[in-house]
Structure 1
Amino acid sequence: MKISASILNCNFLQLGNEIKKAEEAGIDSFHLDVMDGHFVPNLSFGTPILKVVRQVTQKPIFSHLMVWEPEKMIERFLPDSDGVIFHIEATKKVKECITLIHQANRLCGIACNPETPYSHLLPHLEEVEDILVMSVHPGFGGQRFIPDVLDKIKRLKEIGKEKRLSFIVSVDGGVNKDNVSLLKEAGVDMIIVGTYLFHSSDYKKALAELRCST
């Protein structure tokens, strides 16, 4: 199971150092939550922060667009991202979003909120590399994990296996050492951690605890 660091809850006054510390601790990639204040009730950051992160790491960077009509913003994030993720609930132009991302030779992910049925994703499973299941309500870090998403994760993994599809399942929200074993059992391929990592006193220990718990 891979681990991606969500920088939303890091110390932005020490952003470069935070990224380096996460790298030294063994993080696999970085995850940037881009919020517009409309699709989710919060604002975060945009391409200037993405460019800074790109300058200080060679690890993969995934831009997670929590925005309405992501098709209008995707192209801005493509140059410095290895992958771009958009929400199934935020657009009526899913095919257009997928095409924009793939035309730039970037990985494409579709995210879904906790209450969104997995059936909404079925028409697109053959077209994307990542399905990101939100295990909290998007918009703020530090929330509690919603265990109801485990059934959705298991079903997505079953469908992927049955149809021999190559997408991975990622989980974002409230992941810690107490619930990571449940995610492993459900077949999750990648977890996104923010508060658990960046609010810890020892990043290497925090990641080791997650890996050992699986």
Structure 2
Amino acid sequence: MDLRIEQLSAGYGKVQVLWDVSLQVSAGEFVAVIGANGAGKTTLLRTVSGLLRPSGGRVRLDGQDVTRATPTRMVQLGLGHVPEGRELFAQMTVRENLQLGTAVRAEAKQRQAAGLEQVYALFPRLEERGSQLAGTLSGGEQQMLAVGRALMGRPEVLLVDEPSLGLSPKVTQTVFGALKAVNAEGVAVLLVEQNVAQSLTLADRAYVLENGAVVQEGTGAALLADPGVRSAYLAL
């Protein structure tokens, strides 16, 4: 399944944040979007997943126009979203949060046991914490849970928003390793992240977002070596 974003514009009320953004994530591809705080990265993912209505442009999922689809419909069609801030249900257990990830997609609900097995293989700590309330987990464990919940919906395209925010380097490597493993199994990943070096190292291709517009694109390796990118985002 592929994702195409065509001249997408969006914002909040009268404040426009995205300006004619176009990008593509092919089936099985790992794509990163990098940019400074306020560049529009989170707004981009929220608009794609249906949480925010665009003011212009199109979103296509496997060729189908889903520009006006609800978040529930997007999940049913095979899109998963790991939001910034995790947005877990703090008073529910780890296992209950994971099970919620299967709520709206029939095939995910039917294969819930297999989904749990996959998530626990990626994040063994979640199995150990299965009966613990999500709100009592460490920040790293909560991020693992947010990723795991999205994976329980058996997405074919996964949007991931700032997964390393506030995490230790060790936990960051665990989360990024899980994303790469999921991608290796055929899930397309669209990652927005301020850890530019890590993102570009993992990405097949990447886009640079500045002031709500795409200003540069290329392979992850090419952008990682680009003097402008290194100066602006890696302080090199």
- TM-score above 0.5: no
TM-score (norm 2): 0.40
Give the greater-gyration-radius structure (CA). Answer: 2
- Which fold has the larger relative contact order, with Cα–Cα distance below 8 Å and residues 6 or more apart in sequence? 2
TM-score (norm 1): 0.43
